[in-house]
């Protein structure tokens, strides 16, 4: 985006249990320590309405399932509200936004896995996201030996997405790897099987580049 005063938009992607939330907290703390204002948020969610959509999408009433197309529409409805009310205002006021999941998750879960044509999703992206594309996306990747243990150790009730089979999670993992490799300018593929502090250090060094641009633009 041309506006040099705009903040920066970082998205964290990957399958369940790769450590996105832990990384988000670590990055937010490091950015805040440099004096920058940071907003941490997530998708689906991030606004009262989008959190309602999250609940509806992830926890449909027992015996009911959304079609992949309906899921894609729900994710984009939530995203539109989130972008309008949280992400764009924060970026416009110069803040950094770190978002746990964004449109790459829609591509992986609803298109690669769900079968919604990618062109349909690209159409949604054009209208819903427009120019508010992430500056950098960190795609966290870890083997099942790491992610299964993390998923099982969560004490929150599993949502309908997390109760899927290990074959499903393996396909999601492969789809995220492909996606990261297909957009090397924006995406960094991170080995998230390393200790959390090492993951944060690795990601932080990529962010340093953006940070120095930001400081020189002040």
Residue ranges in contact with ligand TMP by CB under 6 A: 16, 42-44, 58, 71, 75, 101, 105-106, 109-110, 161
User: Which C-beta is closer to ligand TMP: that of 7 or that of 114?
Assistant: 114
| Residue placing its CB nearer to ligand TMP in the complex, 9 or 109 | 109
CA gap 42, 14 in Å, rounded: 13
176: which 2 tokens? 């995220």
CB of 76 to ligand TMP, least distance (A): 8
**Shortest distance (Å) from residue 112 CB to ligand TMP:** 11
What gap in Å lies between CA 47 and CA 45, rounded to an integer?
6
Nearer residue to ligand TMP within complex by CB, 30 or 150: 150
DSSP state of 83: I
Dmax over Cα atoms in the chain, in whole Å? 55
Backbone angles phi, psi at 91, to 5 degrees: -65, -40
Q: Nearest approach, Cβ of 122 to ligand TMP (angstroms)?
A: 14
**Based on CB atoms, which residue is closest to ligand TMP, 96 or 124?**
124
Q: How far is the CB of 101 from ligand TMP (least distance, A)?
A: 4
**43, two tokens:** 């998708």
The enclosing H or E element of 210 equals helix 196-216
Of 43 and 141, which has the nearer Cβ to ligand TMP?
A: 43
Alpha carbons 154 and 157: distance in angstroms, whole number: 8
Strand, coil or helix: 168: helix
Tokens of 185: 């300018």
Q: Which is nearer to ligand TMP, 106 or 147 (CB)?
A: 106
User: HSE (CB half, 13 Å, CA atoms) of 205?
Assistant: 7
Minimum CB separation from ligand TMP for residue 30, in Å?
Answer: 22
Phi and psi at residue 72, in whole multiples of 5°?
Answer: -60, -40
Nearest approach in angstroms of CB 128 to ligand TMP is 11
Residue 129: how many other CB atoms lie within 10 Å: 17
Q: How distant is the alpha carbon of residue 180 from its chain centre?
A: 13
């Amino acid at each position: 985006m041309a506006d040099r005063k705009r903040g920066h938009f970082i998205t964290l992607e990957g399958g369940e249990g790769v450590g996105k939330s832990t990384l988000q907290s670590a990055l937010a703390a490091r950015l805040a320590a440099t004096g920058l204002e940071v907003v941490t948020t997530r998708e689906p969610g991030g606004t009262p309405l989008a959190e309602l959509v999250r609940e509806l999408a992830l926890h449909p009433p027992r015996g009911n399932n959304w079609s992949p197309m309906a899921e894609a529409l729900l994710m984009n409805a939530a995203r539109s509200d989130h972008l309008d009310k949280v992400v764009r205002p924060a970026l416009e006021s110069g803040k950094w936004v770190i978002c746990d999941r964004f449109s790459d998750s829609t591509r992986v879960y609803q298109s690669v896995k769900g079968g919604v044509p990618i062109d349909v999703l690209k159409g949604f992206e054009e209208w819903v996201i427009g120019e508010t594309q992430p500056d950098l996306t960190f795609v966290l990747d870890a083997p099942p030996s790491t992610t299964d243990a993390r998923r099982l150790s969560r004490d929150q009730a599993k949502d309908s997405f997390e109760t899927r089979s290990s074959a499903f999670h393996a396909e999601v993992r492969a789809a995220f790897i492909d996606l990261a490799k297909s957009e090397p300018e924006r995406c960094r593929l991170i080995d998230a099987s390393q200790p959390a502090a090492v993951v944060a250090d690795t990601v932080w060094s990529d962010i340093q580049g953006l940070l120095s641009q930001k400081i020189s633009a002040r």
